[in-house]
Structure 1
Amino acid sequence: MSGATENEIGKIIVDSAVNLHKEIGPGLLENVYEVLLAHNLKFEGLRVKRQVPIPIKYDGVKFDEGYRADIIVNDRVLLELKSVESTSRVHKKQVLTYLGLTNIKLGFLLNFGASLMKDGITRLIK
């Protein structure tokens, strides 16, 4: 799947997230969903990196103490996972900031705390 487009990767991600949510339900910790989703995506043949450092550049200096992306898939799609009752604008801004800092175009905010996973998926483009 190394030559897959962002949209093809995105479809696999959404399908995997929905299936995972159906199987184990809402209410677990984010890191549980992260481990299981990463496992499912690897099973689908995708390259998955977890807890990827996102450095900050300031005043000509690169600082590695910036942020961490929960999951980056095939170096083309960024995932931020939540397990909250509902997401807010700040969560979407977080993903957009990560996209800008990584030069990745497509990101997903996946809220596994939603009653229905389809209501917990936000697709974001930078």
Structure 2
Amino acid sequence: MSRDEHEGNQYTPYDALTYKIIGCAMAVHKKLGPGLREDTYQRSLANHLADISVVFEEEKLYPVYDDPEQQRLVGYYIPDFVVEESVIVEIKAIKGIDNRHLAQVIGYLAVSCLPIGLLINFGEPSLRNRRVFPPQKIIDHLINRQWLFIPDGIRK
């Protein structure tokens, strides 16, 4: 059974959508179980979301500029999914989630300006998920931003 680990019971206009996403993730985990590669879960989750007509984009590129006025691109942040232009979904297939993974989702929320993220871990016997909200002072919560994006030269 899935465990939503968000703090308190913060209700949002996106609850119905996040529950659909979590439901699809639970179906994937039930069919595949833990122990597979992250990209396997990503492809399966994409299939399940498409089956219920949820609109999503996989690995959307969010550019990061060191000087937005001059459009000096330094890299991209690339979440696993952007669902209905509202929810960032980041998938993991590891033993446990830590603050680096949470910071990764917070970074995606910062560059995308989207209101909510889901961090879903398929790597444990029970599916784990966490709703993530952008903090008031997002810069205070970012950890080691440089590993969160791919430099422009690598993407070409």
- The amino acid across from 2:56 in the alignment is V
Q: 2:109 is matched with which residue?
A: 99
Whether the 8 Å contact between 2:62 and 2:77 is mirrored in structure 1 is yes
- The amino acid across from 1:111 in the alignment is N
| Distance apart, 1:15 and its partner CA | 0.7
Whether the 8 Å contact between 2:38 and 2:92 is mirrored in structure 1 is yes
Unaligned runs of 5+ in 2: 1-12, 135-156
Give the aligned length.
120
Match of 1:41 among 44, 49, 53: 49
Whether the 8 Å contact between 1:46 and 1:73 is mirrored in structure 2 is yes
| Distance apart, 1:115 and its partner CA | 1.3
CA distance in 2: counterparts of 1:8 and 1:43, whole angstroms: 17
Q: 2:33 is matched with which residue?
A: 25
Identical columns (%): 27
Rg (Cα) greater in structure:
2
CA distance in 2: counterparts of 1:103 and 1:9, whole angstroms: 18
- The amino acid across from 2:80 in the alignment is D
Whether the 8 Å contact between 1:53 and 1:64 is mirrored in structure 2 is no
**TM-aligned CA distance change 1:62 to 1:103, over 3 Å:** farther
**TM-aligned CA distance change 1:47 to 1:62, over 3 Å:** farther
Q: What is the TM-score normalised by the length of structure 2? A: 0.73
CA distance in 2: counterparts of 1:39 and 1:30, whole angstroms: 14
